[in-house]
Amino acid sequence: MVQRVGRVEFGVAWVIRNLDVLIAVGLGLTIGMMDVFGDVISDDVSSGATLLVLGTLAVGSMTERLRRKSDIEEASADTRRALEDLAMVRSLSGDEVGDALERARAQTNRWSFKGGTGTYLRAVTLPRCVATATRQRAQLSVKIDIINPADERTCAAYARFRQTFAHRRNDDTAHAWTVDRTRKEAYATVLAACWYRQRLDTLEISVHLSSGVPTLRFDLSESCLIITQDDPNRVNLLVPRDRPLYDYYVTELHQSREQAVHLSLRDAAPLSDEPTVDEVRAVFDDVALPLPSVFGDTDVAEIIDKALHAEDPYRR
């Protein structure tokens, strides 16, 4: 029954689409039959009817051409959209990643980061963005989303992830990714955020701690989104600001922060240019992220060094 209805609908649609041609053919057959079987119509009427049929056929032909032109234009538009979709992202590899991040930092007063522990963020992005904002006396907004160092299960899962892929590419530093290191790297990013916030009044910075284990890193500026992986030798992606994918990720990163733990940095204790162990412990207590009791002064000193003197992981 459904198939029969479908055939009927198809037939009706075909008739409507070709109505002009059907009228012309009908007129032609009618005039021809009347002319063959008797002197029913005069020669003038027959000639006029013939012209009418030819005119109808001409109109039908022109209509069909217009339909074909519309179909071609629609197909061309679909092709253009497909090509634009392919051009939504650009691949980056090797030194191109660092160059792209540098260009992204050049003219922006807004930066969002989502990733594991934020090593590159505190080593390069944060200090350079703060330096530029200080020099230009400009407003700077930074949003940071990293793993929660107080969540040992998350830190252990992230360490395993880094170890696994480091082994696959025969990276000698694979053993370095332990739960202890992972926690200290994340704590260091929190400390760096507090330290820079106290040195630039126009810096609005927020830190969010997630329990999920990220496999990619997202750096978003006003001009583009850069998606990278832990291995700088692998292909990474750049999404320009004027592409829909950029807006999709703006929403995605916002939603991720909404589901994370937000740290209030406003009431953090003052930090010296070279913070002391006691100052750092007080800061973490103030932001409701106390350091583990097993962390001695040497561990805290290591966190301070990672926070303010981190090495660029892309530097070869």
pLDDT in tens, 211-255: 999 999 999 999 999 999 877 677 899 999 999 999 999 999 999
Whether 316 is in a domain gets the answer no
CA atoms of 265 and 210, how far apart (whole Å): 17
Which residue in this structure is represented by tokens 């650009």? 90
% of the chain beyond a pLDDT of 70: 68
Band (19; pLDDT cuts 50, 70, 90)? low
Mean pLDDT of the chain: 81
Q: Are residues 140 and 155 in the same domain?
A: yes
Claim to verify: residue 112 and residue 256 sit in the same structural domain: yes
Query: Whole-angstrom Cα distance, residue 162 to residue 171?
Result: 10
Give the model's confidence band at 36: pLDDT under 50 very low, under 70 low, under 90 confident, else very high: very low
pLDDT value of residue 83: 47
Last residue of a domain, one of 38, 59, 86: 86
Judge whether 314 lies within some domain. no
Q: Left, alpha or beta for 38 (phi > 0: left; psi -120 to 50: alpha)?
A: left
In a domain, 187, yes or no: yes
Q: CA geometry: angle at 274 spanning 269 and 276, to 5°?
A: 55
Backbone angles phi, psi at 125, to 5 degrees: -60, -55
Does 123 share its domain with 251?
yes
* One domain for residues 291 and 157: yes
Do 14 and 131 lie in a common domain?
Answer: no
Is the separation of the CB atoms in 213 and 157 below 8 Å?
Answer: yes
DSSP class of residue 75? H
- Average pLDDT of 21-43? 53
Give me the CATH number covering residue 239.
Answer: 3.30.870.10
The answer to whether 60 and 207 are in contact (CB under 8 A) is no
Residues 263 and 147 grouped into a single domain: yes
Distance from the Cα of residue 264 to its chain's centroid:
27
Percentage of the chain exceeding pLDDT 90? 59
pLDDT of residue 73: 57
Last residue of a domain, one of 86, 106, 135: 86
CA distance 308 to 122: 7
Could you tell me the pLDDT band of residue 5, with boundaries at 50, 70 and 90?
A: very low
Q: Say how many domains are in the chain.
A: 2
**96-123: average pLDDT:** 94
- For residue 9, pLDDT beyond 80: no
Average pLDDT over residues 142-164: 95
**pLDDT on residue 18:** 58
- Say yes or no: 18 and 144 in one domain: no
Q: Are residues 126 and 222 in the same domain?
A: yes
Please, which pLDDT band fits residue 82 given cuts at 50, 70 and 90?
A: very low
| Model confidence at 16: pLDDT above 60 | no
Binning pLDDT at 50, 70 and 90, where does residue 14 land?
A: low
Based on the fold, state whether residues 177 and 282 are members of the same structural domain: yes
Say if residue 49's pLDDT is above 90. Answer: no
| Final residue in a domain of this structure, among 36, 55, 86 | 86
Residues 70 and 105 occupy one common structural domain: no
Q: What is the pTM of this model?
A: 0.72
Say yes or no to pLDDT of 107 above 50: yes
Predicted confidence at residue 87, as pLDDT, reads 58
Q: Is the pLDDT of residue 90 over 60?
A: yes
262 shares a domain with 130: yes
Of the candidate ranges 121-135, 144-158, 162-176, 280-294, the one whose mean pLDDT is the lowest: 162-176
Same domain for 266 and 300, yes or no, is yes
In a domain, 313, yes or no: no
User: Domain range spanning residue 35?
Assistant: 2-86
Q: What pLDDT was estimated at residue 119? A: 94
96 in a domain, yes or no? yes
